[in-house]
Amino acid sequence: MSMNKLIEFKNKEEEVLRGIFSDKGSSEVVLCIHGFERTATAEPKSKRLSDELSEKNISSFRFDFSGCGLSDGDFKDMTVEKLVEDLKSATENIKKEASKVSVVAHSLAGCVLARFKNKYPDIVFEKIVLISPAFNQKELLRYYFAVSLAKKEDKNIVLNWENWADYFSGEDDFQKSYMSDDKFSKSNYFPKKYFQENKELDYSSYFSGDEKNILHIHGTKDSAVPIESLNIKFKNSLIVEGGDHDLEIPTMQNQWLKKAVNFLAERKLVK
């Protein structure tokens, strides 16, 4: 049985970040990092992943980025660069508990991890699991804008990665929409600095695709980050049939959770 405890530490801005450390007393720990407006401390898949890792005698640390979940900070200040520094603080702190660190990154956290790898190449993770990575920010941001326009026009319109451009009204409208002061995300003011940072970026270039220590997991029915949006193919890839973006429905989890845990627990690199 693992012992859970709250860990607090400060990021570069002196904000207090918090997470749940499930301690198995092992030399290995898996960091769980969440996506846009999500929370690793409370999401079912992170908790279940932690429980499964405990069965393998592997510790885990589910922490929330600044402005999310248990952590301090304001979400409107969020940028990928800021979250990279959050991840650096978390990694440095959790290494006090275990020497070998792996990471599971969902959605936008894939971008954070990509930038982290580029900025801090000397900090190496043992294994990496990418769940529904939102690498292609340049096109995804435009896709979301087109979806919002289409829904205003007709709630029954179904957009996908093949037809969204037909509803994209142009760069001027796109820029004005995301830079407006009254634009909301799910439950916060939309972080304009994040938009400015990412509107021309695709983070897939930070990966080669054939890294043996990386497992990519994606659902075939992911409407938030369509699998077709990725401009990279990973050698180790697990496709969840009928899977959505969060992959938390039990029938979806049955397809990937134990396989991800086995990948993380395997001492040798996957061929």
Q: Is the pLDDT of residue 46 over 50?
A: yes
pLDDT digits (tens, 9 = 90+) for 191-248: 999 999 999 999 999 999 899 999 999 999 999 999 999 999 999 999 999 999 999 9
pLDDT digits (tens, 9 = 90+) for 116-175: 999 999 999 999 999 999 999 999 999 999 999 988 888 788 889 999 999 999 999 999
Tokens linked to 196: 């400015």
What residues pair up with 63 in beta bridges, in sequence order? Answer: 19
The answer for residues whose C-beta is within 8 angstroms of residue 51's C-beta and 6 or more apart is none
Q: Is the pLDDT of residue 271 over 50?
A: no
Do 115 and 154 fall into the same domain? no
Do 180 and 208 fall into the same domain? no
Q: Give the C-alpha separation, 64 to 71, whole Å.
A: 6
Give the SS3 label for residue 215. strand
Single residue among 152, 174, 200 that ends a domain in this structure: 200
Q: What is the DSSP letter of 15?
A: P
pLDDT of residue 268: 55
Query: Does any domain span residue 270?
Result: no
Do 42 and 154 fall into the same domain? no
Give the position of tokens 């006090």. Answer: 96
Tokens linked to 258: 């134990």
Q: How confident is the model at residue 267 (pLDDT cuts 50, 70, 90)?
A: confident
Query: What DSSP string describes 147-206?
Result: HHHHHHH-TT----TTTGGGG---HHHHHHHHH-TT-B-SSSB--HHHHHHHTT--GGGG
pLDDT of residue 228: 97
pTM score, whole prediction: 0.95
Are the beta carbons of 253 and 247 closer than 8 angstroms? yes
pLDDT digits (tens, 9 = 90+) for 57-85: 999 999 999 999 999 999 999 999 999 99
Look up residue 28 and give its amino acid: E
Single residue among 147, 169, 200 that ends a domain in this structure: 200
Do 116 and 70 fall into the same domain? yes
pLDDT of residue 109: 98
Q: Is the pLDDT of residue 1 over 60?
A: no
Among candidate residues 211, 239, 84, the one with its CA nearest the CA of residue 92: 84
pLDDT of residue 181: 86
Q: How confident is the model at residue 97 (pLDDT cuts 50, 70, 90)?
A: confident
pLDDT digits (tens, 9 = 90+) for 255-265: 999 999 999 99
Give the position of tokens 């973006």. Answer: 245
Range of the domain at 190: 137-200
More confident residue, 181 or 17: 17
Instruction: Quote the crossing angle between the two packed helices 44-55 and 250-265, to the nearest 10°.
Output: 40
Do 72 and 109 fall into the same domain? yes
Do 161 and 27 fall into the same domain? no
Do 130 and 94 fall into the same domain? yes
Single residue among 200, 215, 242 that ends a domain in this structure: 200
Do 99 and 207 fall into the same domain? yes
